[in-house]
Structure 1
């Protein structure tokens, strides 16, 4: 990556990770570029795949989904067809924010957003307990988020 981008590109990426709706004029002013030069560089970063997409980060608390649950899942087998079936089905669960294939004790780690314990029980019964190939499942409720960012250190 370092060969592809210079210090100005890194500054652009840091600024956009912090505030993705900056205009080219505002962004250029932050990194000492003209708006047109800034626009060209951002387009190049997008084409290179360094900027994947732009999103709005919604506030789960204000939207009635204040609780995060981390679910560790161990599958009954490691065969490709078991992994593929699990991944296809888990991707259809709207409450699952993230699903990671893991190395270590569990095969997958899910990050699930819920209203409360009753809501998680509903999601567990309706979706999680029906996922294919699941041998074990352990759930942990987050009591408080101490640190959270979507920004990758650049």
Structure 2
């Protein structure tokens, strides 16, 4: 989808604060609140805006451990991949999962309260996933950067 400068400005403002009202946006962007509302609705309908959510402080919720888990499956059988992917979406501790090229099949990020909690997640959630042959875990020491999307995603595509 081609985005014009006004769409990009709206999206950039929403990335900064998704709770801004259309009136607040109209003070920053040279459009009326009604025109901004129309554009936001169009961006939602075209799935450029997938939804809105609160960003919660995981440490305040007791989730002080971030674990990156590399998972290798027993085979690359299409049915097994599908079964794994359906199951991983139901694992409550998993915050992201990516199908990878290279040595490991999946790259999974998990949030845990502490090492004991991760041991439980490892035994009860991850190792029980369909077709798992190997789990290799790495523990994040600290988070350096985190954002839903970088503002650079709003730059016009180079031709």
TM-score when normalising by structure 1: 0.95
* Structure 1: 5+ residue stretches without partners: none
Which residues in structure 2 correspond to 1:1-154 (within 5 Å)?
1=1, 4-152=2-150, 153-154=153-154
Q: Secondary structure at the match of 2:141?
A: coil
Q: Secondary structure at the match of 1:74?
A: strand
Q: Secondary structure at the match of 1:97?
A: strand
Whether the 8 Å CA contact 1:18–1:151 is kept in 2: the answer is no
Q: Secondary structure at the match of 2:79?
A: helix
Whether the 8 Å CA contact 1:85–1:132 is kept in 2: the answer is yes
The whole-number CA distance in structure 2 between the counterparts of 1:61 and 1:7 is 37
Q: Secondary structure at the match of 2:127?
A: helix
The whole-number CA distance in structure 2 between the counterparts of 1:16 and 1:99 is 25
For residue 151 of structure 1, report the CA deviation from its aligned partner: 2.1
The whole-number CA distance in structure 2 between the counterparts of 1:62 and 1:55 is 17
The whole-number CA distance in structure 1 between the counterparts of 2:32 and 2:83 is 50
* Structure 2: 5+ residue stretches without partners: 155-159
For this pair of structures, how many residues does the alignment match?
A: 152
